[in-house]
């Protein structure tokens, strides 16, 4: 059994087109019916604003699969600790024996989550985008923009964060890493109205974006709501959207933004008009049809993303040792 540490994993796996393509392939296998995807197990620890998720998926025909344990403790910043942590364990499909432990402290989860955001933009956003927005200033707010830049190179980011200091640091970091201009917004409304594409990256428990702020051509990727109590979008957004997509309907109607729209009777659980990402990546259907459409994608994170990124990381790590 191999044990790999975060430092060596980071050397072999980055937020780039290769990682995006790996995750795309995983979603395509899901759409083709080649994936066993059990429900997420989650443990909430509200007294410390914490949660631990366990996700997994088996892709038919592959010799390994991953079980991912991921924690998010959002009071950690005040303790000088990262909010996210965890590991991925790779098992042999034939024997169930452990092939490797990837002690990534949540890094691979960050990569595969950013990749899903880029895939959403690739299929649902306008072909050419200059102005993008992000709500949140944490790790995922950075990785989402890095992944997005791979598929939709842009000129300007408008960012909103609860902390002005964090927003200034974010602006400095992103201008350096991507070479783009970063503007700091005073409100989420400012972000939405100035952007052609917006990504929400927070653990918010109440809507941050209102339906009346939407405008023709806008795409929204909401990736913060991955538990029943989280919410970043006004449910009326789904009434105004021309195209609604998600990673997995069954998850999003339980954990994501879609379940709030369902509660208000805006969407139905079996709504056939909602597109899953795998239908887009496998070219079973198309996303945006013209530039004026408003598109929204709800991402809750899936075990298939974890299995493909863990397998990719393992392959790269083994190659590096030869």
Which tens digits make up the pLDDT trace of 15-39?
999 999 999 999 999 999 999 999 9
Q: What is the pLDDT of residue 161?
A: 96
Other CB atoms closer than 10 Å to residue 229's CB: what's the count?
12
What tens digit of pLDDT does each residue of 174-199 get?
999 999 999 999 999 999 999 999 99
* 109 pLDDT higher than 80: yes
Q: In the structure, what pLDDT confidence band is assigned to residue 68 with cuts at 50, 70 and 90?
A: very high
What are the C-alpha distances in Å from 294 to residues 114, 122, 197, 238, 245? 21, 14, 10, 10, 11
Q: What is the pLDDT of residue 225?
A: 86
Q: Spell out a b/e string for 53-87, using b for 16 or more CB atoms within 10 Å of the CB, else e.
A: bbbbbbbeeeebbbbbbbbbbeebeeeeebbbbbb
Q: In the structure, what pLDDT confidence band is assigned to residue 227 with cuts at 50, 70 and 90?
A: confident
Average per-residue pLDDT for the chain? 95
- Cα–Cα distance for residue pair 9/206, rounded to 1 Å: 35
- The answer to whether 288 and 243 have CB atoms below 8 angstroms apart is yes
Q: In the structure, what pLDDT confidence band is assigned to residue 83 with cuts at 50, 70 and 90?
A: confident
Fold classification of 118-301 is Rossmann fold (3.40.50)
**What is the percent of the chain with per-residue pLDDT over 90, rounded to a whole number?**
91
Query: H-helix or E-strand containing 181?
Result: strand 181-184
* 322 pLDDT higher than 80: no
* 226 pLDDT higher than 90: no
- Cα–Cα distance for residue pair 296/124, rounded to 1 Å: 8
Q: Six-digit token pair at 182? A: 């970063």
| Nearest Cα residue to 9 out of 287, 322, 318, 261 | 318
Other CB atoms closer than 10 Å to residue 156's CB: what's the count?
16
Spell out the domain ranges in the chain. 2-108+304-321, 118-301
Q: How many residues does the chain have?
A: 322
What tens digit of pLDDT does each residue of 115-167 get?
999 999 999 999 999 999 999 999 999 999 999 999 999 999 999 999 999 99
2-108+304-321 is a CATH 1.20.1440.230 domain: no
Alpha helices in the chain (DSSP H): 6-12, 17-31, 107-124, 139-151, 164-178, 188-194, 237-240, 249-252, 258-263, 277-281, 303-321
**What is the percent of the chain with per-residue pLDDT over 70, rounded to a whole number?**
100
Tokens 């997420």 locate to: 40
Q: Which of 34-48, 207-221, 259-273 has the lowest mean pLDDT?
A: 259-273
């Amino acid at each position: 059994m191999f044990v790999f540490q975060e430092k060596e994993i980071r050397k072999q796996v980055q937020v780039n087109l290769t990682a995006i393509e790996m995750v795309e392939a995983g979603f395509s296998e899901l759409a083709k019916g080649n994936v066993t995807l059990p429900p997420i197990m989650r443990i909430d620890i509200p007294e410390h604003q914490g949660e631990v998720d366990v996700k997994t998926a088996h892709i038919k025909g592959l010799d390994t699969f991953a079980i991912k344990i991921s924690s998010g403790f959002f009071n950690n910043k005040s303790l000088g600790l990262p909010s996210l942590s965890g590991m991925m364990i790779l098992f042999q499909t034939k024997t169930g024996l452990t092939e490797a432990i990837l002690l990534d402290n949540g890094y691979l989860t960050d990569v595969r989550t950013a990749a899903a955001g880029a895939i959403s933009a690739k299929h649902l956003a306008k072909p050419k985008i200059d102005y993008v927005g992000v709500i949140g200033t944490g790790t995922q707010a950075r990785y989402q923009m890095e992944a997005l830049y791979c598929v939709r190179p842009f000129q300007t980011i408008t960012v909103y964060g609860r902390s002005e200091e964090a927003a200034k640091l974010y602006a400095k970091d992103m201008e350096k890493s991507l070479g783009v201009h970063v503007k700091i917004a005073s409100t989420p409304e400012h972000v939405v109205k100035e952007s052609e594409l917006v990504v929400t990256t927070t653990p918010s428990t109440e809507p941050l974006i209102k339906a009346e702020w939407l405008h023709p051509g806008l795409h929204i990727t909401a990736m913060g709501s991955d538990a029943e109590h989280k919410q970043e979008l006004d449910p009326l957004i789904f009434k105004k959207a021309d195209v609604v997509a998600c990673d997995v309907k069954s998850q999003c109607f339980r954990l994501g933004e879609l379940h709030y729209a369902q509660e208000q009777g805006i969407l139905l659980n079996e709504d056939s008009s909602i597109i899953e990402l795998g239908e887009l990546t496998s070219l079973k259907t198309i996303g945006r049809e013209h530039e004026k459409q408003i598109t929204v994608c709800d991402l809750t994170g899936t075990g298939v993303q974890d299995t493909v990124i863990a397998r990719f990381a393992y392959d790269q790590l083994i190659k590096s040792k030869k």
